């Protein structure tokens, strides 16, 4: 597996829809973002989208891995690669939002992310269609963060 920074136009929208079911939402953050990809034989099978939001803080808006390549450590390796690249860009804090339960929460916590706050009813107010995971409707968003080691 090869990990690299790519142009946003190289990331297939269908891949990003694996993690965010709203094309409108994806369009809102994809422009001017840093895009990192996992490539298998030149084909993008994973993506991590991050954007500088404030000073030395970036937000990860999307981490997606094609279903045929999930549960193989690619997402974790891609996220670690992305965090390293962000640190090289002088980012010292990375934030993201995720559901309040499920495998994504454990995935981010294994990497070192910590809970900062809860946004009540985020998924109800910001997505036109209900989002379900394991037959449970997502309602609230957890805001997570990780502090990165400063690079000189």
pLDDT in tens, the chain (152 residues): 999 999 999 999 999 999 888 899 999 999 899 999 999 999 999 999 999 999 999 999 999 999 999 999 999 999 999 999 999 999 999 999 887 667 788 889 999 999 998 868 777 787 778 877 778 777 888 899 999 987 76
Would you identify the CATH topology of the domain 2-147? Answer: Aminopeptidase (3.40.630)
Sign of CA dihedral 82, 51, 104, 74: negative
Q: How many angstroms separate the CA atoms of 86 and 95, rounded?
A: 12
Could you count the other beta carbons within 10 Å of the beta carbon of residue 152? 3
């Amino acid at each position: 597996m090869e990990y690299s920074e790519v142009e946003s136009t190289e990331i297939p929208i269908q891949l990003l829809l694996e993690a965010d079911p709203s094309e409108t939402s994806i369009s809102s953050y994809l422009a001017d973002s840093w895009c990192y990809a996992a490539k298998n034989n030149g084909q993008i099978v994973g993506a991590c989208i991050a954007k500088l939001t404030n000073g030395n803080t970036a937000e990860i808006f999307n981490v997606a891995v094609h279903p045929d390549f999930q549960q193989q450590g690619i997402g974790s390796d891609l996220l670690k690669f992305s965090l390293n690249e962000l640190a090289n860009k002088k980012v010292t804090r990375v934030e993201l939002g995720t559901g309040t339960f499920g495998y994504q929460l454990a995935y981010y916590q294994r990497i070192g992310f910590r809970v900062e706050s809860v946004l009540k009813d985020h998924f109800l107010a910001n997505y036109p269609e209900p989002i379900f995971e394991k037959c449970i409707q997502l309602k609230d968003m957890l805001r997570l963060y990780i502090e990165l080691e400063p690079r000189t």
